[in-house]
Structure 1
């Protein structure tokens, strides 16, 4: 899929034209892409969107009609339009593996290159990474609430446009939801496509039983019936049981039913009792209708007997407390080999300057303990002191016996991928394995434990020194 270069904010072009006029386009620059707050007021995020972002960078080029449009705006000089004609991304990108568990205030992507190319890609990278990371995180939360019951992505009709629907299906798989109702996503990403029928199917026939019989006649080996068009317990399920008996007589079994309204915990308990009593314990019960991680957790707590969940609106739109948008940012951290940082009155929003490594600290059993940002030349070991970036007086010591691993690696050099894309299901497995290594408190839906992201002693010192210099200069 091509992401056109005009899929950007206008100020990226005006800044680019300004750098061109000032002779600054070739200065070497380093930018970090990160977010400041974990989504959904949760304890983590699942990193997604890396492969589409690399697709965008590899294919970045202006077509003649795009240049003609920019020329027609009457703002840009012909020399700048000619500069854009040969404009490409030839930089370096460092990132964690897609599907990694990540946290606020640590760099996801680090983009290094000429100032022109590294600055221009800001908006496109943010729109790709922000949305897919948000949806992957929502999917992971839903999957964990489902406690092993399959989850199907049902969000296309409520997604933010067709591209949002495709991006949602992909990102949801990174987070663990690997089947979808979106047929185009199934073809593009190799996902299992699943679905039943709508209430309109039932309404199109003279009565509910006739509708169920017709559907079973067309799909005898894959019949799943929507049972709440009229009355779930007194009409829908009894008629489904009738069709189940007729299918069995023809050598088939009813696959399942779907509940799309009402008290899902109660209806699923009663539905399970009725099918079991009728001799159909293998019939699966699916639930849909405005589900999310909190609703699913509530259904399970109330003894609901749901075998699978179809999750649509609240997954595709990543809605809920702390959702809606990830709020990722893209900040300059080095220019012409000199560290740069943004300093505000709120130290928590001050950026961390310079080139950095992101180290993950593991306990002896492989559990994740904390992450540490350090200078490229730092060699962290157990016993080192690390600092809270928002509260410099808070420090901790890396425990004895801990293991440290660099979470990120160079994924693109000279504008070309270093390795082929990973299969989508590999990314899904990675997110599941990493979530299992998190401290259990980080997985809570309400008031989760805060996973520490610290600064090494040397990086802490460099940051404080630069803050002091900037205050003197601006004071």
Structure 2
């Protein structure tokens, strides 16, 4: 049976083999994972995928079938394939917890490992965290505009594969959703599963009213009726009112009941439906909506005064339709020459692609009075910021911008936590509900300006003076080679 060790790019394996024969495969090194631009032109990214990543790293190994396949390619030599039999992860991983709000250029995850182990992890690690962080971020944008309305993840049938559907549902929960239609995701991650009926249910009966009555008999406590199969206002809503009246008279009307709209002018139809429900004495009826929704459409519908208070979001969420990838990267930032750690930098003609060298962490600065986030400082590991002393901040992108945070007015938090040490899992994985609560807390520390859908404020993220000095030193040294 093939394993996830093969879920990688060919060049990772060919580099591993080349380094093996060059005697460099066990060289200790440090890699950073980060991204350069927020997705959706937004103001932040929500970190997700760590639990999936932990499972991948914890179980990575090459099976006999893996090795037989690699041998069949004619690329890999027997002595190297024999070496792969014993490969597993023996290094350290530090990461921001799931639900953390992050920003461009920050270290989200740091790997200390033998060179071949780090290369083996890169592709699948990037795939997992890029995808799940992307969906969590999209979901948080939806939650930001939905307020306290119910949010249902409805995307499985449009997901780009089984894994995307399953882990996308989990990521949506981290982003602030209330449940999913995905039954397997519900079972795997203890997510509430939600859903009612399709148009085919209504069309299976001789009339819409008969379909509603049958559904009410079968599922009296899940009474959300799909009202747009034929004519929403002339038939669907009146038939729903008939069912509500019958159940009320029988004493079986549940606390939560209502309709779902899946087509038409959702703002107009919901307002008219609410008027009709109110006139009939059912003003508290839920009006749910679906149909290619996203944060932008929901925002527009709310601006038009819609009466919708429950949203089923599918295609645009699960595919992150308007920003279908998160450009997370995995870069070598240093390696050991004996006991000496040598920082490394990736140069580029594109300034934004020049990496930050060395072993780093992120310190987050919070305003003590409001609890809101003030800035992030990317530091060299071991650096500290004394919250009792004045902190001078200057912008990496605009050096003429600066500000001072007075000592005693702020708190400091180190963002990377140990996940694996010497190949052993040391991180206690929180329950999904705990991650969701933490994600809510993280977003609550952002000022509203950073949550805007359009042209959000950019979080103040800067390198520490020591990191900037190291970066400039290495850049000058590397540039000197070309003159």
Matched, 1:348 2:356: no
- The C-alpha deviation readout for 1:134-178, integer Å capped at 9, x for no partner, is 000011110111011010000000011111100101111111113
Is 1:458 aligned with 2:462?
no
Q: Deviations over 1:406-456 (max 9, x none)?
A: 111111111221133100111111111111111221011110000011011
Distance 2:334 2:404 in 1: 28
Structure 1 residues 28-427: aligned runs within 5 Å: 28-253=28-253, 255-320=257-322, 323-336=323-336, 337-365=341-369, 366-381=371-386, 382-391=389-398, 394-400=401-407, 401-427=409-435
Which deviates more from structure 2 when the two are superposed, residues 387-396 or residues 294-303? 387-396
| 2-structure distance, mates of 1:316, 1:217 | 33
Residue 221 of structure 1 aligns to a residue whose secondary structure is: coil
Write the distance in 2 (CA, Å) between the matches of 1:63 and 1:5: 9
Equivalences for residues 18-33 of structure 1 within 5 A = 18-33=18-33
Q: Which moved more, 1:294-303 or 1:373-382?
A: 373-382
Deviation digits for residues 240-272 of structure 1 (CA, Å, limit 9, x no counterpart): 111111222332116121000111111111111
The secondary structure found in structure 2 opposite 1:305 is: coil
| 2:465 pairs with 1:468 | no
2:284 alignment partner, SS class:
coil
8 Å CA contact retained: 1:272, 1:305 = yes
1:394 positional shift = 4.8
Contact 2:3/2:66 (8 A) holds in 1: no
1:343-369 deviation digits (Å, cap 9, x = unpaired)? 112222210000012000111222100
Distance (whole Å) between structure 1 residues aligned to residue 227 and residue 451 of structure 2: 34
Partner of 2:455: 447
Which residue does the alignment assign to 1:438? 446
Match of 1:121, SS?
helix
Q: TM-score, normalised by structure 2?
A: 0.95
Residues 375 and 458 of structure 1 are in contact (CA less than 8 Å); yes or no, is this contact kept in structure 2? yes
Residue 398 of structure 1: how far off its partner (Å): 4.2
**Displacement, 1:474?**
3.5
How far apart, in 1, do the equivalents of 2:423 and 2:453 lie?
Answer: 39
CA contact (8 A) 2:196 2:222 kept: no
Distance in 2, matches of 1:172 and 1:114, equals: 34
Q: Distance in 2 between matches of 1:341 and 1:403?
A: 31
Q: CA deviation at 1:46?
A: 0.6
Q: Secondary structure at the match of 1:300?
A: helix
CA distance in 2, matches of 1:135, 1:416: 29
CA distance in 1, matches of 2:211, 2:180: 24
Q: 79-88 or 404-413, which moves further after superposition?
A: 404-413
Shift of 1:376: 1.7
* Contact kept? 2:277, 2:283, Cα under 8 Å: yes
Count of residues in correspondence between the two structures: 472
Over residues 24-43 of structure 1, what are the superposed CA-to-partner deviations in whole Å (9 max), with x where a residue is unaligned? 01111100001100111000
TM-score, with structure 1 as normaliser: 0.97
Q: Given that residues 385 and 456 in structure 1 are in contact (C-alpha distance below 8 angstroms), is that contact kept between their aligned partners in structure 2? A: no
Unmatched tracts of structure 1, length 5 or more: none
